[in-house]
């Protein structure tokens, strides 16, 4: 299909409907509101359901109901609303219900502001709700990926019977880029375990309650095994000019884009810099980062939060290489030039020798 200039928040909805999403339950919040607005327009057109819930708490529980009934469903919010939804995340994971939740991150804590941050990383990737569960997390860096990863998120959710979060920031949600949507719409049949209110599914049951310790342990082990399986099979990342990189920059979402520009600036200065951009935040590209440490001398993590992603990079490296950290928060984003300055300042040894620079100048006169 022809590329169409589309806003990130709208791309999510269009991709979701094409992927068979027929239910959206949400509550407005900047900078995610356009998702609910687009859903209010497009879900009914597709024969689906849109409800503006009384709160994020209600919205996530409506998602629980729709998922239990076997309908591909989604919601969207931002930091404060996601905090309220955490109860539901835990129940959804516990009851093994598939659904997709978009988190378009804004500044925090508290009311913070509505400008972009990446400070929901911990509450999404580490699980803000109670109990032994994980959410699978995909992190788009473009509007095209908003669409593509949303499509994938629905498949992942069904395959793992688990909530999947599309974790983006206000920049990605609000910006417009050309998107090529899936040429064909799909509508998977309701899964066999769903409670559809008919004779065929009368014996089906959805619950997260396992009163007997042994039975709950078995259930938790089953969930644990699913997450391990995801770690084996679903890791996605983008590796950009890392083959010969001495310094590997790590960042996700909009930061990945900025880092790409920074890599180009650094390369133009003769520095061997590359980029590792996690596309899945859980499962995390632990092995891939560890692999890069065989050649890279150092890593630098850049994020729009005060040190959340960096923990996972450090855990992945287990001390194999030094990890430096640079962040902006509050709605600020570093420019590619800022990142370059940080890299030059932090790794002075990686700058080309002054002699080489002079030769370069001579050649180009």
Residues 335-364 that bind other proteins (CB under 8 A): 335-338
Minimum Å gap between C-beta 23 and other proteins is 6
In this complex, which beta carbon is closest to other proteins, that of residue 184 or of residue 294?
Answer: 184
Minimum Å gap between C-beta 213 and other proteins is 11
Q: Which residues pair with 165 in a beta bridge?
A: 101, 137
Within 100-119, the residues that bind other proteins by CB under 8 A are 114-115
Please pick, from the candidates 29, 36, 63, 157, the single residue that binds other proteins as defined by CB under 8 A.
63
Binding mask 178-217 for other proteins (x = CB under 8 A): x--x-xxxxx-------xxxxx-xxxxxxxxx-xx--x--
Minimum Å gap between C-beta 209 and other proteins is 6
318 near other proteins (CB under 8 A): no
> Other CB atoms closer than 10 Å to residue 81's CB: what's the count?
23
Please pick, from the candidates 32, 36, 73, 133, the single residue that binds other proteins as defined by CB under 8 A.
73
CA atoms within 13 A on the CB side of 114: 9
Within 128-147, the residues that bind other proteins by CB under 8 A are none
Within 155-174, the residues that bind other proteins by CB under 8 A are 170-171, 174
- The region, left, alpha or beta by phi > 0 then psi within -120 to 50, assigned to residue 207 is beta
Burial letters for 189-228: b for 16+ Cβ neighbours within 10 Å, e otherwise? eebeebbbeeeebeebebebeeeeeeebeebeeebeebbe
Minimum Å gap between C-beta 173 and other proteins is 9
Closest to 208 in 3D by CA, of 63, 308, 68, 328: 68
In this complex, which beta carbon is closest to other proteins, that of residue 145 or of residue 312?
Answer: 145
98 near other proteins (CB under 8 A): no
Q: How many residues bind other proteins (CB under 8 A)?
A: 83
83 near other proteins (CB under 8 A): no
Within 14-33, the residues that bind other proteins by CB under 8 A are 14, 17-18, 22-23, 25, 30-31
287 near other proteins (CB under 8 A): no
DSSP for 251-317, written as a single string: --THHHHHHHHHHHHHHHTT--EEEEEESEEES--HHHHHHHTTT-SEEEEEESSSSSHHHHHHHHH
């Amino acid at each position: 299909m022809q590329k169409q200039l589309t806003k990130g928040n709208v791309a999510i909805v269009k991709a979701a409907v094409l992927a068979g999403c027929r239910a959206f339950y949400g509550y407005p919040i900047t900078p995610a509101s356009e998702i609910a607005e687009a859903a209010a327009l497009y879900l009914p057109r597709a024969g689906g359901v849109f409800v503006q819930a009384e709160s994020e708490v209600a919205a996530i529980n409506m998602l629980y109901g729709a998922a239990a009934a076997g309908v591909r469903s989604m919601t969207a919010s931002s930091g404060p609303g996601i905090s309220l939804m955490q109860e539901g995340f835990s129940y959804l994971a516990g009851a093994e219900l598939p659904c997709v939740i978009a988190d378009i991150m804004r500044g925090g804590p508290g009311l913070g502001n509505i400008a972009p941050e990446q400070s929901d990383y911990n509450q999404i990737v580490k699980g803000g709700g109670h109990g032994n569960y994980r959410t699978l997390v995909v992190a788009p860096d473009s509007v095209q990926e908003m669409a593509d990863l949303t499509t994938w998120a629905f498949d992942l959710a069904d395959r793992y019977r688990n909530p999947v979060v599309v974790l983006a920031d206000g920049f990605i949600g609000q910006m417009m880029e050309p998107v090529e949507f899936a040429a064909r719409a799909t509508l998977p049949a309701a899964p066999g375990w769903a409670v559809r209110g008919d004779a065929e599914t009368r014996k089906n049951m959805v619950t997260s309650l396992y009163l007997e310790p042994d039975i709950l342990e078995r259930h938790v082990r089953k969930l644990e095994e699913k997450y391990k399986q995801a770690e084996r099979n679903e890791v996605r990342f983008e590796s950009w000019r890392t083959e010969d990189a001495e310094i590997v920059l790590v960042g996700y979402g909009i930061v990945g884009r900025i880092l790409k520009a920074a890599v180009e600036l650094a390369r133009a200065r003769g520095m061997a810099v590359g980029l590792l951009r996690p596309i899945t935040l859980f499962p995390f590209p632990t092995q891939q980062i560890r692999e890069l440490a065989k050649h890279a001398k150092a890593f630098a993590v850049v994020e729009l939060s005060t040190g959340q992603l960096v923990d996972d990079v450090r855990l992945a490296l287990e001390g194999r290489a030094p990890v430096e950290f640079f962040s902006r928060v509050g709605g600020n984003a570093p420019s590619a030039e800022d990142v370059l300055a940080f890299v030059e300042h932090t790794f002075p040894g990686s700058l080309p020798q002054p002699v080489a620079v002079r030769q370069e100048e001579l050649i180009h006169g």
